[in-house]
Amino acid sequence: MPYGHTDDEWAETKHKLRAFLITKARNRSWVSYSQVVAQIGPIQFLPDDHGFHRMLDEVSVEEDEQKRGLLTVIVVHKDGDMRPGPGFFDLAARRGRKVVKTDTDKTWISEMDTVVGYWKDH
């Protein structure tokens, strides 16, 4: 039971998360963490829940394994820097992207280009 939820709840919520993010990617849109959690279910997360961040990682890894990039690159802070959180960049480094901690914009832009480029045609 992932984070206290049934496997079915986890799978359904992850499916809805992926579909929602693909829609945003096709529209070349960013979306805040809080907007994402408001749109998915049956699991109701808060934007800073560890389970939510784990699900974001799972979606990105699965997408990256299919050569479609790290889909969660489009999920950003709603205030401040308007960029993905540090967990995204940690994941990007684990997935083989070159991440320079002092200039994460290069990684962010490159990954955004990959994801949007794929989904605009599919």
Q: What is the pLDDT of residues 52-98, one digit of tens each?
A: 999 999 999 999 999 999 999 999 999 888 899 999 999 999 999 99
Closest CA to 76 of 20, 30, 24: 30
Instruction: Return the pLDDT at 104.
Output: 92
**Residue at token pair 């320079």:** 100
CA dihedral (87, 39, 14, 115) positive or negative: negative
Q: Supply 92's token pair.
A: 């990007």
* pTM of structure: 0.93
**CB atoms inside a 10 Å sphere around CB 33:** 22
**CB atoms inside a 10 Å sphere around CB 93:** 14
Instruction: Return the pLDDT at 55.
Output: 97
